[in-house]
Amino acid sequence: MISIIQAAGWPIWPLIACSILALTLIIERFISLQTRKVAPPKLLEEVLSVSRKAVPSPDIVLQLSQNSALGEVLASGLHSLNINPLCSEDDLRANMEGAGRVVAHRLERYLSALATIASAAPLMGLFGTVIGMIEIFGSQTPTGAATGGNPAQLAHGISVALYNTAFGLIVAIPSLIFWRYFRARVDAYLLTLELAADRLARHLQTLRA
């Protein structure tokens, strides 16, 4: 591995930094976007069951808000009723939508950075390729005869060009794949949160009717 880095020259170091950053972001997103942390499957049913006869106490609502992202959105609606039992349905939905936007921002965190790495890595590899080509041309004689140039410098220039191109693609392709995967996962979570908030709002209106 060290020999490859040496053969690729200094342009590969920014790509190595991007690969480490991309791997860190991917691991962090895998941990943060676990279903149990975002939208536990049975949480909505439990909330509907607890609030079947009355709005839960503030202590229960606080525990719900700390449960998960979905719990935070649902708790915002229940908290509105704890503060103002006469809260209108529009205000109730507005409060849950506000909490949903905060949660959505948190779920989408670092995705733009991962997308940037996926877009920039091939360009950084291309930059290394250009550096390698410059070294190749620099190894030629003024007349352009390759036989009169420096063979070692010529070989090094080719290594820089090829290794950087390859490494740029190696960094970009997984980054793009995982960005699309996380993007789809977040969209699915946001739909789940939206539907759950709508169902709770209709349940609470029925409760107060």
Give the number of C-alpha atoms closer than 13 A to the C-alpha of residue 10, restricted to the C-beta side. 2
- Report H helices in the chain: 2-8, 12-32, 35-38, 43-50, 58-65, 69-83, 89-107, 111-138, 151-208
What is the pLDDT at residue 205? 84
The CA distance from 199 to 205, in Å, is: 10
Domain locations along the chain: 2-208
Q: What is the pLDDT of residue 52?
A: 87
pLDDT value for 150? 66
Q: How far is CA 171 from CA 9, 30, 98, 115, in A?
A: 17, 18, 36, 11
Sorted by sequence, the CB contacts under 8 Å of residue 12 that are 6+ apart come out as: 5, 128, 163, 164, 167
For residues 12 and 1, what is the distance between their CA atoms, to the nearest angstrom? 12
pLDDT for 146: 46
State the pLDDT at residue 147.
46
Which pLDDT belongs to residue 163? 83
Token pair listed for 135: 């070294």
Question: In this structure, what DSSP letter does residue 148 have?
Answer: G
Question: Which pLDDT tens digits describe the chain residue by residue (209 residues)?
Answer: 677 666 667 878 899 999 999 999 999 999 999 999 999 999 999 999 998 888 888 999 999 999 999 999 999 999 988 888 888 888 999 999 999 999 999 999 999 999 999 999 999 988 888 888 887 776 665 554 444 456 777 776 777 778 888 899 999 999 999 999 999 999 999 999 999 999 999 988 887 66
How long is the chain?
209
